A and B are shown apart, each in its own frame.
Chain A
Protein backbone atom coordinates (compact mmCIF):
# COMPACT_ATOMS: atom_id res chain seq x y z
CA UNK A 1 0.00 0.00 0.00
CA UNK A 2 1.47 3.34 -0.97
CA UNK A 3 1.40 6.19 1.55
CA UNK A 4 -0.25 9.35 0.31
CA UNK A 5 2.32 12.08 -0.24
CA UNK A 6 2.00 14.97 2.21
CA UNK A 7 2.25 18.08 0.08
CA UNK A 8 3.16 21.45 1.58
CA UNK A 9 0.26 23.86 1.88
CA UNK A 10 0.15 27.44 3.04
CA UNK A 11 -2.45 28.31 5.62
CA UNK A 12 -3.65 31.94 5.88
CA UNK A 13 -1.38 32.89 8.80
CA UNK A 14 1.68 31.09 7.48
CA UNK A 15 4.54 32.98 5.93
CA UNK A 16 5.74 30.00 3.93
CA UNK A 17 3.97 26.83 2.86
CA UNK A 18 5.07 23.84 4.86
CA UNK A 19 4.44 20.12 5.08
CA UNK A 20 2.83 18.80 8.26
CA UNK A 21 5.21 17.45 10.88
CA UNK A 22 6.68 14.12 9.76
CA UNK A 23 5.05 10.83 10.76
CA UNK A 24 5.91 9.78 14.30
CA UNK A 25 7.44 13.15 15.21
CA UNK A 26 5.22 13.35 18.28
CA UNK A 27 6.37 9.97 19.63
CA UNK A 28 9.99 10.60 18.66
CA UNK A 29 9.89 13.76 20.68
CA UNK A 30 8.30 12.04 23.70
CA UNK A 31 10.97 9.33 23.53
CA UNK A 32 13.71 11.94 23.43
CA UNK A 33 12.17 13.88 26.31
CA UNK A 34 11.85 10.69 28.38
CA UNK A 35 15.54 9.89 27.83
CA UNK A 36 16.53 13.48 28.64
CA UNK A 37 14.40 13.52 31.80
CA UNK A 38 15.80 10.23 33.07
CA UNK A 39 19.27 11.56 32.33
CA UNK A 40 18.49 14.73 34.25
CA UNK A 41 17.16 12.98 37.38
CA UNK A 42 19.88 10.32 37.45
CA UNK A 43 22.47 13.04 37.03
CA UNK A 44 21.11 14.76 40.16
CA UNK A 45 20.36 11.81 42.44
CA UNK A 46 20.70 13.79 45.67
CA UNK A 47 18.31 16.54 44.60
CA UNK A 48 15.85 14.01 43.18
CA UNK A 49 15.72 11.95 46.39
CA UNK A 50 15.36 15.15 48.41
CA UNK A 51 12.37 16.23 46.31
CA UNK A 52 10.85 12.73 46.45
CA UNK A 53 11.03 12.70 50.25
CA UNK A 54 9.56 16.19 50.61
CA UNK A 55 6.65 15.28 48.34
CA UNK A 56 6.37 11.84 49.97
CA UNK A 57 6.07 13.28 53.48
CA UNK A 58 3.55 15.88 52.30
CA UNK A 59 1.40 13.17 50.70
CA UNK A 60 1.74 10.57 53.46
CA UNK A 61 0.21 12.66 56.27
CA UNK A 62 -3.28 13.16 54.79
CA UNK A 63 -3.20 9.68 53.27
CA UNK A 64 -2.38 8.11 56.64
CA UNK A 65 -5.17 10.10 58.31
CA UNK A 66 -7.55 8.90 55.63
CA UNK A 67 -6.59 5.31 56.49
CA UNK A 68 -7.13 6.00 60.21
CA UNK A 69 -10.56 7.46 59.51
CA UNK A 70 -11.49 4.55 57.29
CA UNK A 71 -10.46 1.98 59.90
CA UNK A 72 -12.13 3.96 62.69
CA UNK A 73 -15.37 3.85 60.75
CA UNK A 74 -14.99 0.14 60.23
CA UNK A 75 -14.22 -0.48 63.90
CA UNK A 76 -17.21 1.65 64.91
CA UNK A 77 -19.35 -0.39 62.55
CA UNK A 78 -18.23 -3.55 64.35
CA UNK A 79 -19.27 -2.15 67.72
CA UNK A 80 -22.57 -0.68 66.67
CA UNK A 81 -24.49 -3.91 67.26
CA UNK A 82 -23.89 -3.62 71.00
CA UNK A 83 -25.36 -0.13 71.26
CA UNK A 84 -28.26 1.90 70.05
CA UNK A 85 -31.79 2.75 71.14
CA UNK A 86 -33.91 1.00 73.76
CA UNK A 87 -37.66 1.75 73.93
CA UNK A 88 -39.31 0.49 77.13
CA UNK A 89 -43.05 -0.11 76.92
CA UNK A 90 -45.53 0.36 79.75
CA UNK A 91 -46.56 -2.96 81.40
CA UNK A 92 -49.02 -4.88 79.25
CA UNK A 93 -48.67 -2.45 76.38
CA UNK A 94 -50.98 -2.96 73.42
CA UNK A 95 -49.15 -5.08 70.75
CA UNK A 96 -50.38 -2.62 68.11
CA UNK A 97 -48.60 0.22 69.89
CA UNK A 98 -45.49 -1.91 70.15
CA UNK A 99 -45.66 -2.67 66.43
CA UNK A 100 -46.09 1.03 65.60
CA UNK A 101 -42.93 1.84 67.57
CA UNK A 102 -41.01 -0.96 65.80
CA UNK A 103 -42.10 0.35 62.40
CA UNK A 104 -41.18 3.91 63.37
CA UNK A 105 -37.72 2.71 64.35
CA UNK A 106 -37.31 0.71 61.16
CA UNK A 107 -38.18 3.73 59.05
CA UNK A 108 -35.47 5.85 60.67
CA UNK A 109 -32.26 6.24 58.62
CA UNK A 110 -29.27 4.91 60.52
CA UNK A 111 -31.28 2.28 62.41
CA UNK A 112 -29.99 -1.10 61.31
CA UNK A 113 -31.82 -3.81 63.19
CA UNK A 114 -34.88 -3.70 65.48
CA UNK A 115 -35.67 -6.51 67.90
CA UNK A 116 -38.62 -6.78 70.30
CA UNK A 117 -37.77 -8.21 73.71
CA UNK A 118 -40.83 -9.44 75.55
CA UNK A 119 -41.21 -9.04 79.31
CA UNK A 120 -40.54 -12.79 79.76
CA UNK A 121 -37.41 -12.64 77.63
CA UNK A 122 -36.22 -9.59 79.57
CA UNK A 123 -36.71 -11.43 82.87
CA UNK A 124 -34.91 -14.48 81.55
CA UNK A 125 -32.00 -12.33 80.37
CA UNK A 126 -31.89 -10.53 83.72
CA UNK A 127 -31.80 -13.85 85.56
CA UNK A 128 -28.86 -15.03 83.51
CA UNK A 129 -26.88 -11.82 83.73
CA UNK A 130 -27.62 -10.56 87.24
CA UNK A 131 -26.90 -13.72 89.26
CA UNK A 132 -29.96 -13.10 91.45
CA UNK A 133 -32.09 -15.86 89.94
CA UNK A 134 -33.05 -17.29 93.34
CA UNK A 135 -34.32 -13.94 94.62
CA UNK A 136 -36.34 -13.40 91.46
CA UNK A 137 -38.00 -16.79 91.94
CA UNK A 138 -39.67 -15.33 95.04
CA UNK A 139 -41.40 -12.61 92.99
CA UNK A 140 -44.77 -13.62 91.62
CA UNK A 141 -45.19 -10.98 88.91
CA UNK A 142 -42.66 -10.08 86.24
CA UNK A 143 -41.69 -6.46 87.04
CA UNK A 144 -39.75 -5.96 83.79
CA UNK A 145 -41.37 -4.29 80.77
CA UNK A 146 -41.21 -5.43 77.20
CA UNK A 147 -38.87 -3.34 75.06
CA UNK A 148 -37.75 -2.71 71.50
CA UNK A 149 -33.99 -2.54 70.93
CA UNK A 150 -32.50 -1.01 67.83
CA UNK A 151 -28.90 -1.09 66.72
CA UNK A 152 -27.61 2.08 65.13
CA UNK A 153 -25.01 2.44 62.39
CA UNK A 154 -21.86 4.34 63.21
CA UNK A 155 -22.55 7.07 60.67
CA UNK A 156 -26.14 7.76 61.79
CA UNK A 157 -27.19 11.38 62.22
CA UNK A 158 -27.29 11.93 66.01
CA UNK A 159 -29.60 14.97 65.77
CA UNK A 160 -32.12 13.00 63.73
CA UNK A 161 -32.01 10.16 66.29
CA UNK A 162 -32.56 12.71 69.09
CA UNK A 163 -35.66 14.03 67.35
CA UNK A 164 -36.98 10.51 66.92
CA UNK A 165 -36.38 9.74 70.60
CA UNK A 166 -38.42 12.79 71.65
CA UNK A 167 -41.16 11.71 69.28
CA UNK A 168 -41.22 8.17 70.66
CA UNK A 169 -41.28 9.41 74.27
CA UNK A 170 -44.70 10.89 73.62
CA UNK A 171 -46.03 7.81 71.84
CA UNK A 172 -48.78 5.67 73.29
CA UNK A 173 -47.61 2.59 75.19
CA UNK A 174 -44.07 3.94 75.60
CA UNK A 175 -42.72 4.40 79.10
CA UNK A 176 -39.15 5.46 78.43
CA UNK A 177 -36.67 5.75 75.59
CA UNK A 178 -32.89 5.55 75.98
CA UNK A 179 -30.43 6.57 73.33
CA UNK A 180 -27.05 5.17 74.27
CA UNK A 181 -25.17 7.94 72.65
CA UNK A 182 -22.22 8.91 74.79
CA UNK A 183 -19.76 6.62 73.03
CA UNK A 184 -21.60 7.16 69.81
CA UNK A 185 -21.23 10.92 69.90
CA UNK A 186 -17.61 10.69 70.95
CA UNK A 187 -16.80 8.32 68.15
CA UNK A 188 -18.69 10.42 65.64
CA UNK A 189 -16.85 13.53 66.87
CA UNK A 190 -13.47 11.80 66.66
CA UNK A 191 -14.23 10.56 63.17
CA UNK A 192 -15.37 14.01 62.12
CA UNK A 193 -12.21 15.58 63.53
CA UNK A 194 -10.01 13.02 61.79
CA UNK A 195 -11.91 13.41 58.53
CA UNK A 196 -11.71 17.22 58.59
CA UNK A 197 -8.08 17.10 59.61
CA UNK A 198 -7.36 14.75 56.72
CA UNK A 199 -9.09 17.07 54.26
CA UNK A 200 -7.43 20.18 55.65
CA UNK A 201 -4.03 18.53 55.55
CA UNK A 202 -4.75 17.17 52.07
CA UNK A 203 -5.50 20.72 50.90
CA UNK A 204 -2.55 22.37 52.63
CA UNK A 205 0.00 19.69 51.86
CA UNK A 206 -1.39 19.34 48.33
CA UNK A 207 -0.55 23.01 47.82
CA UNK A 208 2.78 22.28 49.48
CA UNK A 209 3.41 19.43 47.03
CA UNK A 210 2.62 21.69 44.09
CA UNK A 211 5.01 24.32 45.45
CA UNK A 212 7.79 21.76 46.06
CA UNK A 213 7.44 20.36 42.52
CA UNK A 214 7.20 23.89 41.17
CA UNK A 215 10.40 25.00 42.93
CA UNK A 216 12.29 21.89 41.83
CA UNK A 217 11.15 22.30 38.23
CA UNK A 218 11.95 26.00 38.30
CA UNK A 219 15.54 25.10 39.15
CA UNK A 220 15.58 22.80 36.12
CA UNK A 221 14.14 25.56 33.93
CA UNK A 222 16.76 28.05 35.13
CA UNK A 223 19.53 25.50 34.55
CA UNK A 224 18.38 25.05 30.96
CA UNK A 225 17.47 28.64 30.18
CA UNK A 226 20.13 29.04 27.50
CA UNK A 227 18.94 25.85 25.80
CA UNK A 228 15.34 27.08 25.93
CA UNK A 229 16.32 30.37 24.29
CA UNK A 230 17.95 28.44 21.45
CA UNK A 231 14.94 26.16 21.10
CA UNK A 232 12.65 29.17 20.84
CA UNK A 233 14.98 30.75 18.29
CA UNK A 234 14.85 27.68 16.04
CA UNK A 235 11.07 27.45 16.19
CA UNK A 236 10.13 25.34 19.19
CA UNK A 237 6.60 26.02 20.41
CA UNK A 238 5.65 26.40 24.05
CA UNK A 239 4.48 22.77 24.32
CA UNK A 240 7.77 21.50 22.94
CA UNK A 241 9.72 23.70 25.34
CA UNK A 242 7.56 22.80 28.35
CA UNK A 243 7.38 19.04 27.72
CA UNK A 244 10.63 18.05 29.51
CA UNK A 245 9.51 19.92 32.62
CA UNK A 246 6.10 18.26 32.62
CA UNK A 247 7.92 14.92 32.47
CA UNK A 248 10.07 16.06 35.36
CA UNK A 249 6.89 16.87 37.31
CA UNK A 250 5.63 13.33 36.57
CA UNK A 251 8.89 11.79 37.82
CA UNK A 252 8.96 13.94 40.96
CA UNK A 253 5.26 13.32 41.69
CA UNK A 254 5.38 9.57 41.05
CA UNK A 255 8.55 9.21 43.12
CA UNK A 256 6.95 11.24 45.92
CA UNK A 257 3.83 9.04 45.77
CA UNK A 258 5.98 5.92 46.01
CA UNK A 259 7.89 7.31 49.00
CA UNK A 260 4.55 8.20 50.65
CA UNK A 261 3.33 4.60 50.14
CA UNK A 262 6.56 3.28 51.67
CA UNK A 263 6.29 5.65 54.66
CA UNK A 264 2.70 4.61 55.32
CA UNK A 265 3.60 0.91 54.98
CA UNK A 266 6.38 1.45 57.53
CA UNK A 267 4.03 3.34 59.85
CA UNK A 268 1.36 0.64 59.64
CA UNK A 269 3.79 -2.15 60.35
CA UNK A 270 5.03 -0.19 63.38
CA UNK A 271 1.57 0.44 64.92
CA UNK A 272 -0.30 -2.68 63.83
CA UNK A 273 0.76 -4.97 66.69
CA UNK A 274 -0.03 -2.57 69.56
CA UNK A 275 -3.33 -1.65 67.91
CA UNK A 276 -4.30 -5.30 67.55
CA UNK A 277 -3.59 -5.77 71.26
CA UNK A 278 -5.64 -2.69 72.16
CA UNK A 279 -8.65 -3.80 70.14
CA UNK A 280 -8.36 -7.35 71.44
CA UNK A 281 -8.68 -5.97 75.00
CA UNK A 282 -12.11 -4.62 73.92
CA UNK A 283 -13.00 -8.00 72.46
CA UNK A 284 -12.65 -6.88 68.85
CA UNK A 285 -10.42 -8.34 66.17
CA UNK A 286 -8.59 -5.64 64.26
CA UNK A 287 -7.41 -5.98 60.73
CA UNK A 288 -6.08 -2.74 59.25
CA UNK A 289 -7.72 -2.29 55.88
CA UNK A 290 -7.39 0.25 53.10
CA UNK A 291 -3.70 -0.07 52.30
CA UNK A 292 -4.32 -1.98 49.11
CA UNK A 293 -3.16 -1.66 45.47
CA UNK A 294 -5.97 0.78 44.73
CA UNK A 295 -4.88 3.04 47.62
CA UNK A 296 -1.29 2.96 46.34
CA UNK A 297 -2.48 3.75 42.80
CA UNK A 298 -4.50 6.72 44.09
CA UNK A 299 -1.46 7.90 46.05
CA UNK A 300 0.76 7.64 42.96
CA UNK A 301 -1.90 9.31 40.80
CA UNK A 302 -2.26 12.18 43.26
CA UNK A 303 1.51 12.59 43.36
CA UNK A 304 1.73 12.65 39.57
CA UNK A 305 -1.19 15.09 39.23
CA UNK A 306 0.25 17.49 41.81
CA UNK A 307 3.77 17.15 40.35
CA UNK A 308 2.51 17.96 36.87
CA UNK A 309 0.50 20.89 38.22
CA UNK A 310 3.63 22.31 39.88
CA UNK A 311 5.69 21.73 36.73
CA UNK A 312 3.14 23.39 34.46
CA UNK A 313 2.80 26.28 36.91
CA UNK A 314 6.51 27.09 37.05
CA UNK A 315 7.43 26.27 33.43
CA UNK A 316 4.47 28.32 32.16
CA UNK A 317 5.67 31.36 34.04
CA UNK A 318 9.18 31.19 32.58
CA UNK A 319 8.45 29.88 29.09
CA UNK A 320 5.74 32.46 28.45
CA UNK A 321 8.41 35.16 28.60
CA UNK A 322 10.65 33.29 26.16
CA UNK A 323 8.25 32.20 23.42
Chain B
Protein backbone atom coordinates (compact mmCIF):
# COMPACT_ATOMS: atom_id res chain seq x y z
CA UNK B 1 0.00 0.00 0.00
CA UNK B 2 1.27 3.51 -0.81
CA UNK B 3 1.60 6.00 2.05
CA UNK B 4 2.12 5.40 5.74
CA UNK B 5 0.35 2.87 7.88
CA UNK B 6 0.64 2.19 11.60
CA UNK B 7 -0.76 -1.27 12.43
CA UNK B 8 -1.47 -1.86 16.14
CA UNK B 9 1.81 -0.22 17.07
CA UNK B 10 2.98 -0.51 20.65
CA UNK B 11 6.19 1.11 21.87
CA UNK B 12 7.31 0.23 25.36
CA UNK B 13 10.66 1.39 26.73
CA UNK B 14 12.97 -0.58 29.04
CA UNK B 15 11.77 1.61 31.90
CA UNK B 16 8.28 0.17 31.43
CA UNK B 17 6.84 3.41 30.07
CA UNK B 18 4.48 2.78 27.16
CA UNK B 19 4.86 5.69 24.73
CA UNK B 20 2.41 4.32 22.13
CA UNK B 21 -0.45 1.95 22.83
CA UNK B 22 -2.06 0.02 19.97
CA UNK B 23 -1.89 2.89 17.48
CA UNK B 24 -3.43 2.16 14.10
CA UNK B 25 -3.83 4.79 11.39
CA UNK B 26 -3.13 5.47 7.73
CA UNK B 27 -1.66 8.59 6.16
CA UNK B 28 -2.11 9.17 2.45
CA UNK B 29 0.90 10.11 0.32
CA UNK B 30 1.22 13.82 -0.43
CA UNK B 31 -0.85 14.87 2.59
CA UNK B 32 -0.23 17.14 5.56
CA UNK B 33 -1.06 15.62 8.94
CA UNK B 34 -0.70 17.26 12.34
CA UNK B 35 -0.04 15.22 15.46
CA UNK B 36 -1.22 17.03 18.53
CA UNK B 37 -1.13 16.27 22.20
CA UNK B 38 0.46 17.20 25.50
CA UNK B 39 4.10 16.64 26.26
CA UNK B 40 4.52 12.86 26.72
CA UNK B 41 1.53 12.02 24.55
CA UNK B 42 3.72 9.98 22.17
CA UNK B 43 4.16 12.46 19.28
CA UNK B 44 7.97 12.31 19.24
CA UNK B 45 7.97 8.52 19.53
CA UNK B 46 5.57 8.38 16.57
CA UNK B 47 8.06 10.40 14.49
CA UNK B 48 11.11 8.47 15.74
CA UNK B 49 9.49 5.21 14.67
CA UNK B 50 9.03 6.70 11.19
CA UNK B 51 12.65 7.87 11.16
CA UNK B 52 13.84 4.39 12.05
CA UNK B 53 15.51 5.73 15.20
CA UNK B 54 13.33 3.40 17.27
CA UNK B 55 11.57 0.14 16.52
CA UNK B 56 8.08 -0.80 17.70
CA UNK B 57 7.72 -3.27 20.55
CA UNK B 58 4.69 -4.72 18.76
CA UNK B 59 2.85 -3.99 15.53
CA UNK B 60 4.19 -2.65 12.23
CA UNK B 61 5.08 0.74 10.78
CA UNK B 62 4.70 0.52 7.01
CA UNK B 63 5.93 3.15 4.56
CA UNK B 64 4.95 2.35 0.98
CA UNK B 65 4.30 -1.20 2.14
CA UNK B 66 7.79 -1.67 3.64
CA UNK B 67 8.02 -2.46 7.35
CA UNK B 68 10.42 0.17 8.68
CA UNK B 69 11.02 -1.76 11.88
CA UNK B 70 12.39 -4.65 9.87
CA UNK B 71 14.79 -2.66 7.70
CA UNK B 72 18.37 -3.76 8.19
CA UNK B 73 21.01 -1.42 9.53
CA UNK B 74 22.56 -0.98 6.07
CA UNK B 75 19.14 -0.28 4.49
CA UNK B 76 18.17 2.49 6.88
CA UNK B 77 20.51 5.19 5.46
CA UNK B 78 19.00 4.75 2.01
CA UNK B 79 15.51 5.17 3.48
CA UNK B 80 16.52 8.21 5.52
CA UNK B 81 17.97 9.97 2.47
CA UNK B 82 14.36 10.44 1.33
CA UNK B 83 13.27 11.92 4.63
CA UNK B 84 13.50 15.42 5.99
CA UNK B 85 13.54 15.86 9.75
CA UNK B 86 12.99 19.01 11.79
CA UNK B 87 13.37 18.98 15.55
CA UNK B 88 12.73 21.69 18.10
CA UNK B 89 16.31 21.79 19.38
CA UNK B 90 17.94 22.97 16.20
CA UNK B 91 20.72 20.35 15.71
CA UNK B 92 22.91 22.65 13.62
CA UNK B 93 26.68 22.33 13.30
CA UNK B 94 28.06 25.39 15.09
CA UNK B 95 31.33 25.60 13.12
CA UNK B 96 29.69 25.45 9.69
CA UNK B 97 28.00 28.31 7.95
CA UNK B 98 24.28 28.32 7.33
CA UNK B 99 24.73 27.21 3.71
CA UNK B 100 27.19 24.45 4.73
CA UNK B 101 24.64 23.20 7.27
CA UNK B 102 21.90 23.10 4.66
CA UNK B 103 24.27 21.28 2.26
CA UNK B 104 24.89 18.35 4.65
CA UNK B 105 22.17 16.01 3.27
CA UNK B 106 23.25 16.88 -0.28
CA UNK B 107 26.84 15.88 0.54
CA UNK B 108 25.56 12.61 1.96
CA UNK B 109 23.64 12.06 -1.28
CA UNK B 110 26.89 12.65 -3.21
CA UNK B 111 25.51 15.60 -5.18
CA UNK B 112 27.82 17.69 -7.37
CA UNK B 113 28.88 21.01 -5.84
CA UNK B 114 27.12 23.19 -8.42
CA UNK B 115 23.80 21.35 -8.13
CA UNK B 116 24.11 21.28 -4.33
CA UNK B 117 24.72 25.03 -4.27
CA UNK B 118 21.64 25.62 -6.40
CA UNK B 119 19.50 23.50 -4.07
CA UNK B 120 20.90 25.20 -0.97
CA UNK B 121 20.07 28.62 -2.39
CA UNK B 122 16.54 27.50 -3.27
CA UNK B 123 15.98 26.05 0.21
CA UNK B 124 17.33 29.15 1.96
CA UNK B 125 15.23 31.34 -0.33
CA UNK B 126 12.14 29.37 0.67
CA UNK B 127 12.76 30.13 4.37
CA UNK B 128 13.83 33.71 3.59
CA UNK B 129 17.39 33.32 4.83
CA UNK B 130 19.36 33.67 1.63
CA UNK B 131 21.07 36.82 2.88
CA UNK B 132 22.39 34.94 5.93
CA UNK B 133 23.88 31.99 4.06
CA UNK B 134 27.46 32.91 4.98
CA UNK B 135 26.83 33.33 8.73
CA UNK B 136 27.51 30.82 11.47
CA UNK B 137 24.44 29.50 13.36
CA UNK B 138 25.64 31.27 16.50
CA UNK B 139 24.96 34.59 14.82
CA UNK B 140 21.29 33.76 14.17
CA UNK B 141 18.24 34.08 16.38
CA UNK B 142 16.41 30.95 17.60
CA UNK B 143 13.73 31.42 14.96
CA UNK B 144 16.29 31.82 12.19
CA UNK B 145 18.14 28.70 13.30
CA UNK B 146 14.87 26.79 13.23
CA UNK B 147 14.28 27.97 9.67
CA UNK B 148 17.80 26.79 8.72
CA UNK B 149 16.87 23.34 10.03
CA UNK B 150 13.74 23.42 7.87
CA UNK B 151 15.83 24.47 4.85
CA UNK B 152 18.20 21.57 5.52
CA UNK B 153 15.27 19.17 5.83
CA UNK B 154 13.81 20.16 2.45
CA UNK B 155 17.06 20.78 0.50
CA UNK B 156 17.17 17.20 -0.73
CA UNK B 157 13.48 17.31 -1.78
CA UNK B 158 12.32 14.63 0.66
CA UNK B 159 9.35 12.40 0.03
CA UNK B 160 8.45 12.43 3.69
CA UNK B 161 8.97 15.47 5.93
CA UNK B 162 8.76 14.92 9.69
CA UNK B 163 8.71 17.91 12.00
CA UNK B 164 8.68 17.81 15.80
CA UNK B 165 7.48 21.11 17.30
CA UNK B 166 8.98 23.11 14.40
CA UNK B 167 7.43 26.37 15.55
CA UNK B 168 8.41 26.06 19.21
CA UNK B 169 11.02 28.82 18.92
CA UNK B 170 9.12 31.06 16.52
CA UNK B 171 6.86 34.07 16.99
CA UNK B 172 3.22 33.70 15.83
CA UNK B 173 3.78 35.39 12.46
CA UNK B 174 6.78 33.23 11.67
CA UNK B 175 4.98 30.11 12.92
CA UNK B 176 2.20 30.80 10.46
CA UNK B 177 4.73 31.32 7.69
CA UNK B 178 6.48 28.00 8.50
CA UNK B 179 3.18 26.13 8.53
CA UNK B 180 2.39 27.73 5.19
CA UNK B 181 5.73 26.44 3.97
CA UNK B 182 4.75 22.89 4.92
CA UNK B 183 1.54 23.40 3.00
CA UNK B 184 3.60 24.30 -0.09
CA UNK B 185 5.68 21.11 0.20
CA UNK B 186 2.49 19.09 0.13
CA UNK B 187 1.59 20.75 -3.15
CA UNK B 188 4.72 19.26 -4.74
CA UNK B 189 3.82 15.76 -3.50
CA UNK B 190 5.73 15.56 -0.19
CA UNK B 191 4.02 13.80 2.69
CA UNK B 192 4.34 16.03 5.74
CA UNK B 193 3.74 15.04 9.37
CA UNK B 194 4.04 17.79 11.96
CA UNK B 195 3.94 17.20 15.71
CA UNK B 196 2.77 20.34 17.45
CA UNK B 197 0.84 21.57 20.45
CA UNK B 198 -0.25 24.80 18.69
CA UNK B 199 -3.80 23.68 18.00
CA UNK B 200 -5.09 27.17 17.21
CA UNK B 201 -2.60 27.54 14.44
CA UNK B 202 -3.40 24.07 13.12
CA UNK B 203 -7.10 24.84 13.00
CA UNK B 204 -6.53 27.76 10.66
CA UNK B 205 -4.95 25.44 8.08
CA UNK B 206 -7.90 23.06 7.87
CA UNK B 207 -5.79 19.93 7.62
CA UNK B 208 -6.02 16.47 9.19
CA UNK B 209 -5.26 16.41 12.89
CA UNK B 210 -4.50 13.28 14.90
CA UNK B 211 -4.69 13.85 18.65
CA UNK B 212 -2.62 11.60 20.91
CA UNK B 213 -3.03 11.22 24.63
CA UNK B 214 -0.88 8.89 26.75
CA UNK B 215 0.12 6.98 23.64
CA UNK B 216 -3.42 6.46 22.30
CA UNK B 217 -5.15 8.06 19.35
CA UNK B 218 -8.03 9.94 20.94
CA UNK B 219 -9.15 11.95 17.94
CA UNK B 220 -8.59 11.86 14.19
CA UNK B 221 -10.40 14.67 12.36
CA UNK B 222 -9.92 17.59 10.04
CA UNK B 223 -8.49 20.41 12.11
CA UNK B 224 -11.35 22.81 11.62
CA UNK B 225 -13.76 20.21 13.14
CA UNK B 226 -11.57 19.29 16.11
CA UNK B 227 -13.08 19.57 19.54
CA UNK B 228 -9.79 20.59 21.08
CA UNK B 229 -8.20 17.76 23.00
CA UNK B 230 -5.00 19.66 23.75
B77 within 8 A of A: yes
Instruction: Report how far A28 CA is from B115 CA in the complex, Å.
Output: 13
A-chain residues with CB within 8 Å of residue B78 when the two chains form the complex: 14, 18, 235, 237
Are the C-beta atoms of A24 and B112 separated by less than 8 Å?
Answer: yes
Are the C-beta atoms of A240 and B112 separated by less than 8 Å?
Answer: no
Given A226-B91, A229-B91 in contact, is the A234-B76 Cβ separation under 8 Å? no
Instruction: Report how far A235 CA is from B76 CA in the complex, Å.
Output: 7
Given A226-B93, A229-B91 in contact, is the A234-B110 Cβ separation under 8 Å? no
A32 within 8 A of B: yes
B58 within 8 A of A: no
CB distance from A103 to the nearest CB of B (A): 68
Interface residues of A in 236-261 (CB under 8 A from B): 236-238, 240
B-chain residues with CB within 8 Å of residue A13 when the two chains form the complex: 66, 71-72, 75
B108 within 8 A of A: yes
CB distance from B79 to the nearest CB of A (A): 5
B-chain residues with CB within 8 Å of residue A22 when the two chains form the complex: 109-112
Interfacial residues, chain A to chain B (CB-CB below 8 A): 13-16, 18, 21-22, 24-26, 28-29, 32, 226-227, 229-238, 240, 323
CB distance from A18 to the nearest CB of B (A): 7
| Size of B's binding interface in residues, CB under 8 A | 34
A-chain residues with CB within 8 Å of residue B82 when the two chains form the complex: 15-16, 18, 235
Instruction: Report how far A29 CA is from B113 CA in the complex, Å.
Output: 11
Given A13-B72, A16-B159 in contact, is the A235-B79 Cβ separation under 8 Å? yes
- Identify the 5 closest CB pairs spanning chains A and B, nearest first: A25-B110, A235-B81, A235-B80, A234-B105, A237-B77
Are the C-beta atoms of A236 and B64 separated by less than 8 Å?
Answer: no
Contact with A along B121-156 (1 / 0, CB 8 A): 000000000000000000000000000000010001
Contact with A along B59-80 (1 / 0, CB 8 A): 0000110101001111111111
A-chain residues with CB within 8 Å of residue B152 when the two chains form the complex: 234
Instruction: Report how far A233 CA is from B158 CA in the complex, Å.
Output: 13
Instruction: Report how far A148 CA is from B83 CA in the complex, Å.
Output: 88
Are the C-beta atoms of A234 and B156 separated by less than 8 Å?
Answer: yes
Are the C-beta atoms of A15 and B74 separated by less than 8 Å?
Answer: no
CB distance from A3 to the nearest CB of B (A): 14
B199 within 8 A of A: no
Are the C-beta atoms of A233 and B66 separated by less than 8 Å?
Answer: no
Are the C-beta atoms of A26 and B72 separated by less than 8 Å?
Answer: no
Interfacial residues, chain B to chain A (CB-CB below 8 A): 51, 53, 63-64, 66, 68, 71-83, 85, 91, 93, 104-105, 107-113, 152, 156, 159
Are the C-beta atoms of B110 and A26 separated by less than 8 Å?
Answer: yes
CB distance from A229 to the nearest CB of B (A): 7
Q: Beyond A16-B79, A231-B108, A233-B51: 4 further Cβ-contacts under 8 Å?
A: A14-B66, A229-B91, A231-B104, A234-B85
Q: Which residue of A lies closest to B81 (CB)?
A: A235
Are the C-beta atoms of A15 and B112 separated by less than 8 Å?
Answer: no
Contact of B73 among A16, A29, A230, A323 (CB under 8 A): A323
Are the C-beta atoms of B110 and A28 separated by less than 8 Å?
Answer: yes
Are the C-beta atoms of A235 and B83 separated by less than 8 Å?
Answer: yes
Are the C-beta atoms of B112 and A28 separated by less than 8 Å?
Answer: yes
Instruction: Report how far A32 CA is from B83 CA in the complex, Å.
Output: 23
Instruction: Report how far A296 CA is from B194 CA in the complex, Å.
Output: 59
Q: Which residue of A lies closest to B155 (CB)?
A: A234
6 residue pairs from A and B, CB less than 8 Å apart: A14-B78, A15-B79, A18-B78, A234-B105, A234-B156, A323-B76
Are the C-beta atoms of A235 and B77 separated by less than 8 Å?
Answer: yes
B-chain residues with CB within 8 Å of residue A230 when the two chains form the complex: 91, 93, 104
CB distance from B81 to the nearest CB of A (A): 3
B-chain residues with CB within 8 Å of residue A26 when the two chains form the complex: 110
Instruction: Report how far A267 CA is from B149 CA in the complex, Å.
Output: 56
B-chain residues with CB within 8 Å of residue A237 when the two chains form the complex: 74, 77-78
Are the C-beta atoms of B107 and A15 separated by less than 8 Å?
Answer: no
Are the C-beta atoms of A29 and B75 separated by less than 8 Å?
Answer: no
Q: Which residue of A lies closest to B94 (CB)?
A: A226
Highest count of chain B CB atoms <10 Å: which of A14, A26, A233, A234: A234
Instruction: Report how far A247 CA is from B93 CA in the complex, Å.
Output: 21
Instruction: Report how far A231 CA is from B77 CA in the complex, Å.
Output: 10
B-chain residues with CB within 8 Å of residue A16 when the two chains form the complex: 64, 79, 82, 159
Are the C-beta atoms of B93 and A227 separated by less than 8 Å?
Answer: yes
Are the C-beta atoms of A323 and B77 separated by less than 8 Å?
Answer: yes
A-chain residues with CB within 8 Å of residue B111 when the two chains form the complex: 22, 25
CB distance from A169 to the nearest CB of B (A): 72
Are the C-beta atoms of B112 and A236 separated by less than 8 Å?
Answer: no
Q: Which residue of B lies closest to A236 (CB)?
A: B108
Contact of B85 among A15, A226, A233, A323 (CB under 8 A): A233
Instruction: Report how far A238 CA is from B76 CA in the complex, Å.
Output: 10
B-chain residues with CB within 8 Å of residue A28 when the two chains form the complex: 110, 112-113
Given A14-B78, A16-B64 in contact, is the A233-B91 Cβ separation under 8 Å? yes
Instruction: Report how far A28 CA is from B51 CA in the complex, Å.
Output: 27
